[in-house]
Chain A
Amino acid sequence: MVKAKPAPILDVERLLALVPFISAHQGISIKDLALTFSVTPNQMNADLTTLWMCGLPGYTALELMDLSFDSGYVTIRNAETLQVPRALNFDECIALLFGLDLVKSALSEKSELHPTVDALVKRLAEKSGLTTALRATNPVSAGLRATIESALTSKLDLVIDYHSLYSDEFTQRTITPLEIRLDGGIEYLFAYCHTADAFRVFRLDRVSEATPRQVSESHMKNPTVKSDDPHECEIRITSRLRLMSERFSLENPVLSAPQKMRTYSHQWVVRSIFASAGSCELVSPTPLRAQIALKAQLILDRYMQPEHA
């Protein structure tokens, strides 16, 4: 439903936004301007040349905007008509409203900034014409992400407390963070783990603490990326097809027939079969099937014990 705007229209939008931006940043370099407006320095030069020809009717030196950019640094005068930035449009309002709700959820409960955020939300909501709250939360703490991002920029190691989902254990590790990546709504931290002496991927929402520290001497003993080979498994889904296809990340899920899937962790497969509560059966490998049956019997026995019955 979103229509892309044609090039000359986008140019006009950028030209109108440039005037107030330069007015507020007198002396900014063409390079920085190009970066801010996501265009090449050549395009920025063309933009400035066009603006240089614009102004109030009459178009004499008195009416034209007084733009100087020969030195590679830009100043603007005589641009009062366009000096105030344009009103926020609907999309801009909603982007800010969702963002403000995230900021609000990231603030501590006692923060004195809550009324300030609420007042901004109220003003933007009126402008957007939306009467319902735009809400957004993220399981990753915004303070924790700030610590990690700052370690990434200043090239510091981190000591993290990590809860491993598959083994259900808390561990403390020293890592060299490399990159944060978003995949399917989940944020991952790619890092070199000095505790394991290997590259590891951590789910950001499972990191509970992160403390920066100076880079350790034993820096990356095994700098080659060694990925484990995936194991092949076969599963058979008997019900709740949508949930199962989401859980096992299946592209072409089918009901009742056995289908192959790949995994890097047997622990994960066992837990996922249990968490499917009968909607999915493991067909192969056989040793893992036996493990599931044994485990299920063990849990069953406890449920059947008289003191727990």
Chain B
Amino acid sequence: MAELDLKPGDQVPSQAPGEVRWRPGLGILVRWETFLLVLLGGTIAFGADVSPYFLQSSNLFYICLNVGEIAIMALPLTLLVVTGEIDLSVASILGLSGVLMAELFKHGWPIWPAMIMAVVLGACLGAVNGFLVTRVGLPSLAVTIGTLTLYRGIAQGILPTDTIGGFPSNLASIGVIPIPHTHLPYSIAFFAVLAAVFGVVLHATPLGRAIFAIGAGQEAAFFAGIRVKRIKFWLFVLSGTLAGFAGVLFSLRFASARYDSGVGMELFVVTVVLLGGISIFGGRGTIAGVVLAVAVLGCLQTALTADLMPAQDQNIVVGTLLVASVIVPNGGDLYRRARARLRSAEARRHAAAAQAESR
């Protein structure tokens, strides 16, 4: 989509040769994460202002609990967005995996194999996305809008109106009881471990560099010997797998599975990724930014709930955050473009004046 941005008029003559229009990452990124820290501070201050209980350490548990599954699904999506793809079907995979786990459990499977099958199903659903994108050559946006509908529809077909519950209480309690001697829910502990792994892989391994290279220029990456399609395929599988895992956690947290579990959660996952400073055009971003964005979203949700704002209204806030977090990084570009246009108009006026004079 980046090519949409290029037009001849944009090649501003004042640019020094060799200067890249997309400013090379580091400077801007550091600033973006600083901005996120400020935003986080602001959100916490807002929360503390709304409720005296917000700053109590036990509140940490509820903050983390609300964003656990979202955070886990945001990690593989981060890598996908860095390569320039997107996966909108994660929330539907979460729902369908939960339904499969519950159905298997209802039909007499022990809970552990049922949970494993749910994760395997997630991997398979991700593989379908990956196959359609990399082998058939379809745009990931269209594919995952389709599979978003398809996977949710299958979940609805399997489990139309019922709710399945009755999971063993020792497992179901991991969603409501913190890890002993801490204030952290299990889902956030999984996220912390995964985030560390993803951070190392993305920022300190050849694979991570390959992922950035794909996002910066797919063709160039291919000619540099990077297996673009293979990497993308496995990233979709990874996204599906972790969405399946999130589905297991989600079902355990609510001690029940329904077909509409996590409907609309893709909004939150995509918001976290883009708020985390991952460029929607691919090629830029850090895991640290995404972790900070998770913290911002968790605090914001809890603070708004403490402020007695209904969940429906919170969607307005999160939706606005999503749109803002793609507009703001483009702001500099916008400004440069406007300035260039003004300048070229001025230059044209000058040229016209000069011409008129010479006559």
- A and B part of one assembly: no
Binding site for A on B (CB under 8 A): none
